[in-house]
């Protein structure tokens, strides 16, 4: 009983729920009590007003007649009769001569009073004879309201606490005691002790939430015990492996001298290979120094893919060699010849990785140098349509199997002054992206290029009738190294390079959400410089278009 009482009282859930019920019930009680008291108060006041109205209808004419004849006995009899009415505590009558008749005691506060003019009816004339003042005391009304407040609040308080106590008991019986049992059970869980399932004190056939919790905990505990047993077995196996390792350390020591000599020989061969590679790099730099940026990027990408592929193959081979070496070392029948064979293969893989990484690093450094030189090129004037034709021809040569219908909406005489190589880098990469991705399922490929000049701002639209770009890829197309054709050799640098080049031109490039041809539409804009003659020709052309 003491445990039940302490759990019932100390239950945080039950306490919060009980407190919420008491507060809510108290608010409802206060609101309903206030409404009832206001209603009762208005009823009492209305009752007093009705008494005033009754006095006005019944007694005023009789009092006026008594005052007219100055019958003191009748006047006193009448006012003493009125004073006996409920809630009437004071009555006074003043006539025209200043004479006054009083009954009761006047009160300065908590009263309702009303004054009536007394007029005597003589034929068709009304003659004023005095004034009647009636005062009703509200103290009795307030005392009745106070008693009602006490009764209502006391009865509702008892009812609220009884309901709250019952709900607290239900919470304990249906929730808290099970949570307490669950807490004690979890505290006593020991994976080294025998498994004891969790069962709640309730009908096991009833599939309620606590039955589901007990089933989930029992299942989890069984899984933990199985995992704990596996960990124990793994620990024992690790101890056995450490014992074998100590035995193999002695064998490893005997191989160190021979392995050291092999490393020296391989190092000498590696140094000779590095010298040969350096000479080859110098020749390659001299041969490609004057090549165009597009050809250089393509060549470097091909050269980088080759050493990286070799490095990946060699690294995979090294992993296999390491696995084989570990198996041989842990094998009781390991021989020196097997270990030497694996080490020799491992050494050859290391040599391949070092050679090809050095080669890739050199190519990347050369690519950065050439790109920096191009971005710093001086601005020059050139025909825009001819530049776009040249860019398309260079791309068309790389994709000989695709026959594209190229359409222009450009003034053939429009010349612009800007960084030629940066603009070529932009148009070449956008066109190359269309050739590589847009026309895989298109029978008649079309590329439309439109250019307009707004002041000193050049706008170029390049669109195609290809398959377009999926929504999940739209936000990432300008990210460096993002490509959907990685398995086909794509690097993801084309549109990223176009974006960087546009930024260097102080412009912008974006993919428009709608395309007239149904494929992808890129909008490129950047400021240019025009001579006076070129500005005049451009204005005349656009006036003719309009």
Which spans in 176-292 are helix H?
Answer: 177-187, 209-288
Percent of the chain with pLDDT over 70: 81
- 373 or 443, which is more confident: 443
Using 50, 70 and 90 to split pLDDT, how confident is the model at 544?
very low
**Which DSSP string do the residues of 529-546 spell out, in sequence order?**
B--HHHHHHHHHHHHHH-
Measuring CA to CA, how many Å separate 391 from each of 21, 416, 447? 80, 16, 13
DSSP strand pairing (521-527 vs 508-511) = antiparallel
Give me the pLDDT at residue 290, please.
39
Level-2 CATH architecture, domain 377-527: 2-Layer Sandwich (3.30)
Lowest model confidence (mean pLDDT) among 224-233, 425-434, 512-521? 224-233
Lowest-confidence pick of 138-142, 445-449, 467-471 = 138-142
Residue 527 has pLDDT above 90, yes or no: yes
The pLDDT of residue 546: 43
457 Cβ partners below 8 Å, 6+ apart? 525, 526, 527, 528
Higher pLDDT, 423 or 24: 423
Average pLDDT, the chain: 76
Residue 458 has a pLDDT of: 92
| 367 has pLDDT over 80 | no
Mean pLDDT of 319-344: 74
Distance of CA 21 to the CA centre of its chain: 35
Mean pLDDT for the stretch of residues 10-37 = 76
Confidence grade of residue 283 (pLDDT, cut at 50, 70, 90): low
- Give tens-digit pLDDT for 462-477: 999 988 888 888 888 8
pLDDT at 2 over 70: no
Q: Which two tokens stand for residue 503?
A: 């930024």
Lowest model confidence (mean pLDDT) among 327-331, 381-385, 457-461, 500-504: 327-331
pLDDT at 462: 93
pLDDT of residue 448: 93
pLDDT at 376 over 70: no
Among 131, 100, 129, which Cα is nearest to 116's? 131
| Per-residue pLDDT band at 300 (split at 50, 70, 90) | low
* Cα-based distances in Å from 32 to 29, 39, 153: 5, 11, 10
Question: 248-270, pLDDT tens digit by residue?
Answer: 887 777 777 777 777 788 788 87
Per-residue model confidence as pLDDT tens digits over 393-410? 888 877 877 888 999 999
**Averaging pLDDT over each range in 83-87, 114-118, 519-523, which range is the top one?**
519-523
Q: Is the predicted pLDDT of residue 274 greater than 70, yes or no?
A: yes
Quote the CA–CA distance of 198 and 221 in Å, as a whole number: 10
SS3 138: coil
Instruction: Give the best-scoring range by mean pLDDT among 160-169, 384-393, 434-443, 527-536.
Output: 384-393
How much is the pLDDT for 303? Answer: 57
Domain ranges of the chain: 1-175, 377-527
| pLDDT of the residue at 267 | 82
User: Among 198-207, 415-424, 535-544, which range has the highest average pLDDT?
Assistant: 415-424
| Letter string b/e over residues 226-236, b meaning 16 or more CB atoms within 10 A of that residue's CB | eeeeeeeeeee
Confidence bin at 9 (pLDDT 50/70/90):
low
Tokens coding 378: 């001086």
Whether pTM > 0.85 for this model: the answer is no
Q: What confidence score (pLDDT) does residue 545 get?
A: 41
Alpha-carbon span 450 to 459, nearest angstrom: 8
pLDDT tens digits for range 205-243: 566 677 777 778 878 877 887 888 888 888 888 888 888
């Amino acid at each position: 009983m003491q445990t039940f009482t302490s759990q019932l009282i100390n239950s945080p859930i039950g306490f919060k729920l009980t407190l919420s019920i008491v507060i809510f019930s108290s608010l409802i009680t206060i609101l309903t009590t206030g409404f009832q008291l206001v209603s009762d108060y208005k009823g009492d006041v209305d009752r007093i007003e009705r008494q005033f109205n009754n006095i006005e209808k019944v007694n005023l004419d009789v009092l006026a007649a008594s005052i007219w004849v100055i019958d003191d006995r009748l006047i006193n009899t009448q006012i003493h009769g009125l004073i006996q009415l409920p809630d009437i505590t004071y009555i006074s009558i003043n006539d025209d001569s200043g004479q006054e008749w009083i009954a009761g005691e006047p009160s300065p506060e908590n009263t309702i009073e009303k004054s009536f003019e007394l007029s005597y009816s003589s034929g068709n004339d009304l003659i004023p004879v005095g004034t009647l003042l009636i005062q009703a005391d509200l103290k009795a009304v307030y005392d009745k309201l106070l008693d009602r407040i006490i009764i209502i609040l006391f009865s509702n308080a008892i009812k609220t606490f009884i309901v709250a106590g019952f709900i607290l008991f239900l919470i304990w019986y249906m929730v808290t005691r099970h949570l307490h049992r669950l807490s004690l059970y979890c505290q006593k869980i020991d994976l080294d002790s025998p498994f004891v399932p969790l069962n709640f004190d309730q009908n096991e056939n009833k599939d309620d939430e606590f039955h589901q919790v007990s089933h989930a905990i029992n299942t989890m505990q069984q899984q933990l015990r199985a995992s704990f047993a596996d960990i124990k077995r793994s620990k024992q196996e690790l101890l056995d492996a450490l014992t074998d390792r100590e035995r193999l350390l002695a064998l490893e020591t005997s191989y160190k001298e021979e392995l050291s000599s092999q490393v020296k020989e391989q190092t000498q061969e590696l140094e000779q290979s590095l010298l040969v590679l350096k000479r080859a790099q110098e020749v390659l730099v001299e041969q490609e120094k004057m090549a165009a940026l597009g050809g250089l990027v393509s060549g470097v990408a091909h050269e980088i893919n080759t050493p990286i592929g070799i490095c990946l193959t060699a690294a995979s081979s090294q992993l296999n060699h390491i696995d084989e070496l570990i198996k041989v070392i842990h094998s009781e029948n390991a021989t020196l010849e097997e270990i030497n064979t694996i080490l020799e293969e491992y050494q050859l893989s290391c040599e391949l990785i070092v050679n090809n990484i050095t080669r890739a690093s050199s190519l990347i450094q050369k690519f950065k140098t050439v790109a920096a030189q191009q971005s710093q090129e001086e601005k020059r004037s050139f025909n825009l349509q001819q530049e776009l034709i040249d860019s398309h021809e260079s791309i068309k040569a790389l994709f000989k199997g695709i026959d594209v219908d190229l359409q222009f909406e450009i003034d053939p005489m429009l010349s612009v002054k800007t960084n030629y190589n940066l603009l070529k880098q932009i148009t070449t990469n956008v066109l190359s992206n269309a050739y590589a991705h847009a026309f895989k399922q298109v029978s008649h490929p079309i590329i439309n290029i439109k250019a307009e000049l707004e002041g000193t701002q050049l706008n170029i639209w390049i669109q195609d009738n290809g398959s377009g770009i999926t929504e999940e890829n739209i936000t990432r197309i300008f990210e460096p190294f993002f490509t959907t054709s990685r398995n086909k050799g794509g690097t993801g640098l084309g549109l990223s390079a176009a974006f960087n080049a546009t930024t260097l031109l102080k412009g912008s490039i974006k993919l428009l959400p709608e395309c007239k041809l149904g494929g992808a539409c890129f909008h490129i804009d950047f400021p240019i410089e025009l001579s006076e003659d070129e500005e005049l020709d451009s204005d005349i052309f656009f006036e003719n278009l309009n």
